[in-house]
Structures are given as structure tokens and as C-alpha cells.
Structure 1
């Protein structure tokens, strides 16, 4: 191409605002803290929003770090201390972290980090491994009433939505919630392995985490915590079974402490824009997630309300 033709082409691109996507144009490299072990809902969510940021041209690359334990408190502590002031860092969080903070009282508070956005919501499904003699939630309840400790409930960290739901179920059927035998795991991968290995009586988590095993017959669904049945899943709601329990899970992202209001707005805009991408739409469809975008002051207020609501449920259920 002649030099004058090349310069004219550049001028045309600049005027049209359509510069080629270079690593600079596609945004800075980003870091994603996933405060759980690989294979669970936080891991899937973090990698999905990271991919959406890249595919939308908002990040040149995304570096992921998994740090499981204590309902996300270990990852939260590392994120707050190591990423302070970094406007290109995000951490996945959600209802599980709030519950863990209430029950565990970690030294680092979520209020030290910067709220960005809620992304999705998802209800839990309770399952058993395919060869289990337990055929229904009714079987679980009968065993629970006879001997509460004999029913091992497997799921996320203490204070997770599946832990809270198990306590609520016990209370609703007349069993002391303080007597339930809850076995916490640091990530969905560990919980899945325990269920498939028959090391817990019944396990709970988001439908997307169990879906492949349910479809293959390696797991069997007993009930869901949603107000209506979940599409693609042949399992009744707890309310259909006469157990008045409904509780949802949600996930979002936070930024580190120490970023400016301008940096917070820029990061929020990036995340919101990423949720409009084809990549994110495909993740929603693939995982059966319900979009639940909430950003700005509305997200701040939502988290405050969730803390209060979860604490009230835990007190009522005898967890704290």
C-alpha cells in the first residue's frame, strides 16, 4: 500500500472511531480473585465474566487466582491486602460470603472492599448419588426425624445458602436445627466428589454445578429451593412437598479498597458492558443462570439488606 493511501486509511479509521483492536485498545490486563477452589459456582462465574470482559474488548487478558476456604474469607483477606488501589482487579463474591462472615466473623470485613455489581441469581438443588437408597426428600425427612445426626448434609462453607436451607428444612419439619450434621466443603468440586463417593447423605448446590451428573444419572435430584420448578430439572420445590422453605443464591463482583470514585465507575461500566456481550449470554444459557444485574448505590444497599436478612434467618433457624 502506498504511504499516502495508508495515511488516508488511518485518518478514515480515526474519524469513524473504528481503530483495530490492539492490546492497548482492548483494555488493560485484569486480575480475578476467586475465593474458592476450582470447580464450583464462584469459579465458573469468575471465569465467565472474565471471558466476557475479554471477548467484549474490555480487557486484554485476565489472570485468575483461586484461594478457597472459610466461605471466601481467605480469598477476601488476600484480595483486600494484596490488591489495594488496583483499578484492574475484581473478586467474585455472593450470598455464601455474607453467610460465612456472619457465622465466622473473620478479621477482614467485606466492607473494606468496593462493591461493583451483582451478576446472577441461582437456586439450590438437593441431590443424592445415583445408587443411593434414598429416593426422595421424604426419605431424607423421615431419617432426619429419627436421627438428625445420621443425615450428612454436604455443601459449601458454613453459612452458605445450602447450609442455611438445611437448617430451615430441619426447623420446618420439627427438628432442632442445631442438631443437623452439616459437612462444609471449600468448593463445588469437593462437594461433588463427596456426593459421588457416597460420603454425604444428601448434597446441595446450584443446578449448574450438578447438571452434568444429573443428566448422566450419576446423581438424582430430590428438591429445589426455588419458588417454581427449575426448567430442565425433574424435581419438586420444597414448598410442593409441604416444606415452607425458599432461598436463593446470588453472585457478584467487588473491587479492592483504595480505588478512586472515577476508577470505580470505570470498572463498573466495564462489568456492565461485559454482561451485554454474546459471551455472557452464552454463559447464562449454558449454566441456567438468571441474570440479576444490579450496580451502583442500588447494589450497595442490596448487600446491606442481604446481611440483615441472612442474619435474621440464621437466628431464627438456630444457626447463631
Structure 2
């Protein structure tokens, strides 16, 4: 009867032939993007969703869920405070997350309260304007800022002191004006920034390369400057840097993942090993190149050391801008 049953369900497989799960393998893998759809956190989750599928490292599809609020604070607090042992979930983070942690914007939690899992990419900050904007290059914008900073409205993900505000503030300093005199609209993530820019509710959008691809290709926006040391490669090679226009402003955005503080060692090791295998595959490198981001392949303890050091540097930077209380 067992043989007959297996023959009848041959198209779907028999229980006796199912591959056993590996130790620590998630039952329902989930990537949490701590923002609304359409921004850099969304891209980070979808990058590895496609990466694991294309490299066949994970058989089960990774679902992407969204948990906006406080530019990462809501997700961080949920995972640490009420879901610390979720072996199925990985949560996206960026340099902006570390900046917020450094400033105490994630409540009482610090960078030591989660398990840092893997970095996957380096993104770069930028400033963009609507296609109909009178600002044709970075110098046009700087002249306008110097004339009257209140008349130039910037929009970015997060509040004053956040990653996007910091990039706008660096521009202000180069223009020799007080960043606190600038007009800044706080939005929830890169998706909202692009929506506000396309609707001309703001004049200048502060964002990242990973946020702007489709709108740039459609000719709806113009990139005034990328905050990288040198021009990017591939389809973004024609975008000017701030540095080449006489303003040495650089802001790299690390993108990666963490897990809850009480996940099992087996689950953590399974995820870490899966990331390592995926990032060694050339198909994943092609996905990163298509997205306009560069490799950043730190995992486990190496990533933790990087995060602790980077967060401390962010505390020092925040103190310089008088953002710590």
C-alpha cells in the first residue's frame, strides 16, 4: 500500500524521499525590511531574496515583510524586546541604522543587543532633483544654498540627525552655512523620498544609489552628485561625484543583516554559512552590479567588530554636529 501511495503521488513526491532539513535551517525564512516598500531596506531584502534563489543556496523562497517606524527603531525593538529567538527572521540594516543606534534613537538598546549576521553590499549616498529642477549641477545648488538656505527644501529618510540629514548637513557645511538653518523634511525611508521628489513636494532628495535606479532610467530625476570617492562602474558610471565638482563629500552606506539576540547557535550558523556560499557565487555578484552596489562580504565576528567600530565613529560624528544630549 505504501508503494502504491507513493506511485499515486509521484508528481508531488513521497514523504519517504523528502530531503531532511539541515540543523538550524529555518521553517519559513523571512527578511524584514524595517521601512516602507521602495527604498534601500526593501532593496537589501530583495537583493538576497533573488540572490539565494539564483544561486540555489536556499530551496525555500524568502518572503519579504515590512516593518516601518523610526527608520529601523520599531523592528529593532520588536526583535530584541519581544521576538529575540526568531530563528526564521533576518533583519536588514544600513549605516543609517548604526547612526541612529549611536544617537540613542533605538531606545535603551545598543549595538551589543543583537547578533550581527552578514554584510552584503556597499551603497553610496547622493542628492537628486526633479527632471524639471532649475539646479543643473551641484554648483547651482550650492549657490542657491548660500543665497538663502531656507528656500531650498531637502527631503530625506529619517529625522534631524539621521543618515540623510547628515549628508545634507555636510553639503551645508561646504556651503559655509549652519546645517540647522537648512530646510529639511523628514520622511520614512527612500521610497517616500522619491515619491515626494517626483511630486515636487521637496526640491532636493537625499537618497542612495539603490533607491533611484528605475526613476533615473526613466528620466524622471537628475542626480547632482554621488557621495563616493570616485565614479561608480557600470550603468551609473556617468553620474558625477561631489568630489570631482570640488566638494569632497563621501558617504558610503553598508547594507547587511542581523538576527535576534537569543536565536539558536545552529540557526545562526546555518544563516551565516548560507550567506558565505551565496556571496562566493558569481551570479550574486552580477545581481549586486545590476543594482549599482559593491561587495561587502563580512560575516559573523568580523561583521560585529566592524559594526562596533563604525557605531563608535558615528557617536563621534554626532558629537561634532551637536546631536548628542
| TM tier relative to shorter chain | 0.7 to 0.9
Q: What displacement does 1:279 show? A: 5.1
Aligned equivalent of 1:83: 83
Structure 1 runs (4+) deviating above 4 angstroms are: 19-27
Aligned to 1:37: 36
* Secondary structure of residue in 1 paired with 2:298: strand
Please report how far the alpha carbon of residue 211 of structure 1 lies from its aligned counterpart in structure 2 after TM superposition. Answer: 2.1
1:202 shift after superposition: 0.8
Match of 2:206 among 200, 204, 207: 204
TM-score in terms of structure 2 length: 0.85
Query: Is the contact made by 1:33 and 1:79 (CA closer than 8 Å) also made in structure 2?
Result: no
Task: Report the number of matched residues.
Answer: 304
1:215 corresponds in structure 2 to: 217
Offset at 1:310?
Answer: 1.8
- 1:125 is aligned to 2:121: no
- Superimposed CA distance per residue, residues 249-305 of structure 1 (whole angstroms, 9 cap, x where no aligned partner): 111100111124443222211222222345533421220110111012211111111
In the alignment, what sits opposite 1:10? none
Shift of 1:21: 7.8
Following superposition, the deviation at residue 145 of structure 1 comes to 1.3
Partner of 2:306: 302
Q: Which runs of 5+ in 2 are unaligned?
A: 4-15
- TM alignment of 1:171-250, pairs within 5 A: 171-231=173-233, 232-233=235-236, 234-250=238-254
State the Cα RMSD in Å: 2.5
Q: Which residue of 2 aligns with 1:51?
A: 50
Q: Equivalent of 2:296, from 292, 299, 307?
A: 292
Instruction: Report how far residue 122 of structure 1 moved.
Output: 1.0
| Distance change >3 Å, CA 142–CA 101, structure 1 → 2 | same
Q: CA deviation at 1:65?
A: 1.6
1:122 is paired with a residue whose SS is strand
261, 269, 275: which one aligns with 2:273: 269
**Rounded Cα–Cα distance in structure 2 between residues aligned with 1:49 and 1:97:** 19
- What TM-score do you get using the length of structure 1 for normalisation? 0.86
CA distance, structure 1, for counterparts of residue 226 and residue 214 of structure 2: 17
1:163 paired with 2:165, answer yes
Equivalent residue for 1:140? 141
How far the C-alpha of 1:23 sits from its partner, in A, is 8.3
Query: How far off is 1:131 after superposition?
Result: 0.7
Alignment of 1:14-29 (within 5 A): 22=19, 24=21, 28-29=27-28
**Cα pair distance change 1:20/1:151, threshold 3 Å:** farther
> Secondary structure of the equivalent of 1:294?
coil
For residues 21 and 211 of structure 1, what CA distance do their matches in structure 2 show?
A: 41
| Partner of residue 73, structure 1 | 73
Shift of the 22–195 alpha-carbon distance from structure 1 to 2, 3 Å rule, reads farther
CA contact (8 A) 1:95 1:160 kept: no
Look up the match of 1:152: 153
Paired position in structure 2 for 1:15: none
Cα distance between partner residues in 1 of 2:17 and 2:133: 56
Q: Is the 8 A contact 1:188 1:209 kept in 2?
A: yes
CA distance in 2, matches of 1:237, 1:164: 17
Distance 2:60 2:119 in 1: 23
Deviation at 1:20, TM superposition (A): 8.2
